[in-house]
Structure 1
Amino acid sequence: MKPYYWESQHGNFGDDLNLWLWDFLLPGFRDVHPDVLLVGVGTVLNKALLPEEGRKLVLGSGFGYGALPEMGDRSLWDIRCVRGPLTAEKVGVPEALGIVDPAVLVPDMPEFKNLRKRHKRTFVPHWESAVAGLWPVTCATVGMHYIDPRGEAKDVIREIAQSELIVAESMHGAILADAFRVPWVAVATSDSINSFKWRDWAATVGVEHRPRRIPISSRAEAIVKGARFWGVDYDRSSAAPPRRPDEGDIAVKVEAQSGLRLAAKQVLAAPSTLALWQASRATPQLSSDARLAERKERLYAVLEDVRRDYL
C-alpha cells in the first residue's frame, strides 16, 4: 500500500507528514495490498489530484478545492473516515464518518512527547505567505518566533509543540497546536485562505474558525495571492494577470534587501506588523480535552478496523 499526499514544489509540512505518520499508525501497511492507495492527511479529495484507476482507502482526507472525483464505486473507494462533516456531506457519506484530521494523532508519537517550551509566541503562515512575504522580518519586529511551513515536517511540528501560543494562517499549524494543547489564534492575509476546510476541521473539535485579518506584507505576496497591496490590485481573474513569480524570483526580491531598502520594506509592511502584534495578544482558542480525546478515540477505532481488514 502506498500513501498519497499532495507534494508541493515548495514543501508544506501539513502534507509532508504523510511520509511518516502512517508508518506509526499502521505499521507494515507498505508491505500489503500494492494495488491500494492510502489517501490520508490533506485537502486531496480532488478529481485533478487523484488517479482515476486503482483502489483507494480514504482515512481522514478533506475536500476543499476543485471537483470531487467520482467516488460511488465502493469496490474502488473504501471510505473509512474523512476530515469533517462538511467533507462528509460533499462526498455523500454519513456525517459520523467526518471524524477529524488524522494529524491530531501526531502528539502520540514517542519522539514528540515531553518537549520543553522554547517560544512564547509563534507565527505559522500559509505556505504562499512564506514564499512571498516579509514575515520573518515582521515577526522579528514584534518579538515573535517565525516558523516556515515549508521546512522539514518534524522540525516544524516540534517548534509548534515547543511554543506557548500559535498564531496560525496555516490550518495544520492550528490543528497541530490544538493537538499539542497549545492555544492558537487563526489569521488570514487574503481571501485565498480556504475557509471551507478550516470550518470542516473546526466542527470536529468544537471550535469556530473566526480568523483575524492581517494585511499582506509585500507586493510580491500580493501578486502570488491576486490581492491588493497599498492601492495596487492584482486580480487573478483578470484577462492579463501579472506573471506569478516563482520561488527563486521572490527569494531574490525578499532576501536580498538590506540597509535602507529593507527599512523601506519594513515601513511598507507596517500595517501587517501591527495586525500581527494584535493577533498575538488576542484571546486564543483551544478545543476541550474531552472533545479532542473523543475524536481521537473514534479515529483509533477506525484504524483498528483497517488493521483487521488490510494487515
Structure 2
Amino acid sequence: MKPYYWESQHGNFGDDLNLWLWDFLLPGFRDVHPETLLVGVGTVLNRVLLPEDGKKLVIGSGFGYGSLPDMSNADDWDIRSVRGPLTAGKVGIAEEFGVIDPAVMVADMPEFQGLGKVHRRSFVPHWESASAGVWPAVCDVVGLNYIDPRGEAKDVIRQIAHSELIVAESMHGAILADAFRVPWIAVTTSESINSFKWNDWAQTLGVSYRPRHVPVSTRAEARMKGARFWGREFDARDPQPEDPNQRAIDGETLVAIREPRQTSLRTAAKQLLAAPSAFALWQASRAEPQLSRDTALNSRKQRFLEVIEGVRRDYL
C-alpha cells in the first residue's frame, strides 16, 4: 500500500506528514496490497489530484477545492472516514463517517512527548502567505515566533508544541495546536483561505471558525490572492485552478521566493508598508483563544482508532 499526499511545490507540513504518520498508525501497511492507494491527511478529495484508476482507501481526507472525483464504484473506493461532517455530506455518506482529521494523532507519537514550552506566542501562516509575504519581519516587529509551514514537518510540529499560544492562518497549524492542547486563534489574510475545510474540522470538535482579518503584507501577496494592499484592489484569477500548484504566481512573488535576501533599506521599506499587517496580527495575538474540550478530542480520537483497527483487521 502506498500513501498519497499532495506535494506542494514550496512545501507544506500538513501534507508532508503523510510521509511518516501512517507508519505509526498502521505499521507494515507499505508491505501489503500494492494495488491500494492510502488517501489520508489533506484536502485531496479532488478529481484533479487523485488518479482515476486503482483502489483508494480513504482515511480522514477532506474536500474543499475543485470538484469531487467519481466515487460511485465501490470496487475502487473504500471510504473508512473523512475529515468531518461537511466532507461526508459532499461525498454522500453518513455524517458519522466525518470523524476527525488524522493529523491529531501526531500528538500520540512517542517522539513528540514531553515537549516543553519555548515560545510564548507563535504565528503559522498559510503556505501561500509564507511564499509571497514578509511575515518573518512582521513577527519580529510584534514579538511573535514565526513558524514557516513550508519547513520540515516534524520541526514545524515541534515548534507548535513548544508554543504557549498559536495564531494560525494554516488550518493544520490550528489542528496540531489543538491536538497538543495549545490554545489557538484563527486569522485570515484574504478570501482565498478555504473556510469550508476549517469548518469541516471545527465541527468535529465543537469549536468555531471565526477568523480575525489581518491584511496582506506585500503587494505580491495581494496580487497572488486578489486582495487589497494600501488602497489598491488586485483581481484574483477566476476561476482558480483545481490543483493548488497551478495557482498563478507573478514574477514579483517569484523573486521574493528565490531571492529571500534583501538589503536593510529594502527590508525597512517593506516593514513600513506591512505596518497594518503588523498591527492587526498583534491585535489578533491578544484575542481570546480557543481550545476544544478534552472530552471532545479524546472521543474523536477513540473513534478514529476504531477506524484504524478496522483497516488493520481488513488489510494487514
Q: TM-score, normalised by structure 2?
A: 0.95
What is residue 166 of structure 2 aligned with on the other side? 166
Question: Which residues in structure 2 correspond to 1:262-277 (within 5 Å)?
Answer: 262-277=267-282
What is residue 236 of structure 2 aligned with on the other side? 236
Secondary structure at the counterpart of residue 178 of structure 1:
helix
8 Å CA contact 2:185–2:290 kept in 1: the answer is: yes
What is residue 257 of structure 1 aligned with on the other side? 262
Quote how far apart the aligned CAs of 1:88 are.
0.1
What is residue 287 of structure 2 aligned with on the other side? 282
Quote how far apart the aligned CAs of 1:252 are.
5.4
Secondary structure at the counterpart of residue 208 of structure 2:
coil
Per-residue CA deviations over 1:48-95 (Å, capped at 9, x if unaligned) read 000000000000000000000000111110000000000000000000
Over 3 Å counting, the alpha-carbon distance change for 1:195 and 1:24 in structure 2 is same
Per-residue CA deviations over 1:170-228 (Å, capped at 9, x if unaligned) read 00000000000000000000000000000000000110000000000001111221222
Q: Which consecutive residues of structure 1, in runs of 5 or more, have no partner in the other structure?
A: none
Quote how far apart the aligned CAs of 1:260 are.
2.7
Over 3 Å counting, the alpha-carbon distance change for 1:211 and 1:151 in structure 2 is same
8 Å CA contact 1:224–1:245 kept in 2: the answer is: no
Question: Distance in 2 between the 1:151 and 1:285 partners?
Answer: 25
What is residue 184 of structure 1 aligned with on the other side? 184
Question: Distance in 2 between the 1:218 and 1:170 partners?
Answer: 18
What is residue 309 of structure 2 aligned with on the other side? 304
8 Å CA contact 1:124–1:169 kept in 2: the answer is: yes
Over 3 Å counting, the alpha-carbon distance change for 1:238 and 1:127 in structure 2 is closer
What is residue 299 of structure 2 aligned with on the other side? 294
Quote how far apart the aligned CAs of 1:234 are.
1.8
Question: Distance in 1 between the 2:237 and 2:151 partners?
Answer: 31
Question: Distance in 1 between the 2:54 and 2:307 partners?
Answer: 22
What is residue 57 of structure 2 aligned with on the other side? 57
Amino acid at match of 2:314: D
Secondary structure at the counterpart of residue 117 of structure 2:
coil
Question: Which residues in structure 2 correspond to 1:139-158 (within 5 Å)?
Answer: 139-158=139-158
Q: Which consecutive residues of structure 2, in runs of 5 or more, have no partner in the other structure?
A: 240-246
Quote how far apart the aligned CAs of 1:248 are.
4.2
Secondary structure at the counterpart of residue 251 of structure 2:
coil
Question: Distance in 2 between the 1:300 and 1:309 partners?
Answer: 14
Question: Distance in 2 between the 1:87 and 1:233 partners?
Answer: 33
Over 3 Å counting, the alpha-carbon distance change for 1:98 and 1:242 in structure 2 is closer
Amino acid at match of 1:23: D
Per-residue CA deviations over 1:87-118 (Å, capped at 9, x if unaligned) read 00000000000000000000100000000110
Q: TM-score, normalised by structure 1?
A: 0.96
Question: Distance in 2 between the 1:278 and 1:228 partners?
Answer: 19
Secondary structure at the counterpart of residue 38 of structure 2:
strand
Question: Distance in 2 between the 1:119 and 1:36 partners?
Answer: 41
8 Å CA contact 1:41–1:101 kept in 2: the answer is: yes
Secondary structure at the counterpart of residue 57 of structure 1:
strand
Question: Distance in 1 between the 2:265 and 2:310 partners?
Answer: 61
Question: Distance in 2 between the 1:206 and 1:238 partners?
Answer: 33
Quote how far apart the aligned CAs of 1:243 are.
6.1
Secondary structure at the counterpart of residue 48 of structure 1:
coil
Over 3 Å counting, the alpha-carbon distance change for 1:243 and 1:89 in structure 2 is closer
What is residue 70 of structure 1 aligned with on the other side? 70
What is residue 122 of structure 2 aligned with on the other side? 122
What is residue 227 of structure 1 aligned with on the other side? 227
Over 3 Å counting, the alpha-carbon distance change for 1:74 and 1:17 in structure 2 is same
Question: Distance in 2 between the 1:22 and 1:238 partners?
Answer: 36
Amino acid at match of 1:12: N
8 Å CA contact 1:42–1:62 kept in 2: the answer is: yes
What is residue 18 of structure 1 aligned with on the other side? 18
